[in-house]
Copies of this chain bind each other. A is one copy, B any other.
Amino acid sequence: MRSETTTGRTFIEEARRRQFIDSAIETLDRLGFSGTSAAEVARGASIAKSALFYHFKNKDELLRAVVSDLYALAAQEIVKDMATADGPRQMLIRYIRSCVLFASAHPRWIGAAMEVIQNLRDADGALVFGAATNQPNIDAIEQMLREGQRSGDFRDFATRPMAVSIRAAIDAAPAYFAHEPDLDPGAYADELTALFDLATRRTEAKEDT
């Protein structure tokens, strides 16, 4: 009977969740994972601490939401960017560029998410967003790379170390954007794409850009 979004939550409910998530992002960025207490998040949102546990089952669920909301947004934007890419080299270039520009658009959110990814653990001490979380990203890159090797666009290299390095280079970018806001993200993306294009392409035929 009452107005609901597609998530099955009321608008007000949705609004409160966003308030808490936004405050969590800001707090994670400012004070880090272990400085991010429920009290601090609630204070930042100007809502009572106990309300947090009405909207989220527990603190972990809030932190997970910080990560998953970001992932959803990133996936959507990056997929859109890559839709029109043509050929393995362009796909890789588009992927790197898209990731870097996304990072430059949300440096603090990404920083916050990284705090959670690197620190949030379950009762056994295992990382909640462990290797399994980044693995799909790396797998996707590896698939692009193997595709390019099969098509002859890429030289013959071990795909795993290359994929890991590409992902690492992308993940290193947001820290720079966060602390050096004058950096030109486009130029930064250009450098990264050039780097990995040179590192991956087949070198025989030499008349490319």
Contact = CB atoms under 8 A, between A and B. Distances in A.
Given A118-B118, A206-B203, A209-B209, A195 B165 contact: yes
A132 to B, nearest CB: 11
B191 A30 contact: no
Contact of A127 (B32, B125, B131, B191): B32
Could you say how many copies of this chain the assembly holds? 4
Given A165-B169, A165-B195, A168-B172, 13 more contacts: A30-B125, A31-B121, A34-B34, A157-B195, A162-B191, A164-B173, A165-B168, A194-B199, A194-B209, A196-B199, A198-B198, A199-B199, A206-B206
* 7 A-B pairs with least C-beta separation: A168-B172, A165-B169, A161-B191, A168-B168, A31-B125, A199-B199, A195-B199
23 contacts: A30-B125, A31-B125, A32-B121, A32-B127, A33-B33, A131-B175, A157-B195, A158-B187, A161-B188, A161-B192, A161-B195, A162-B195, A164-B169, A165-B168, A165-B169, A165-B195, A168-B168, A168-B169, A194-B199, A195-B199, A199-B199, A203-B203, A209-B209
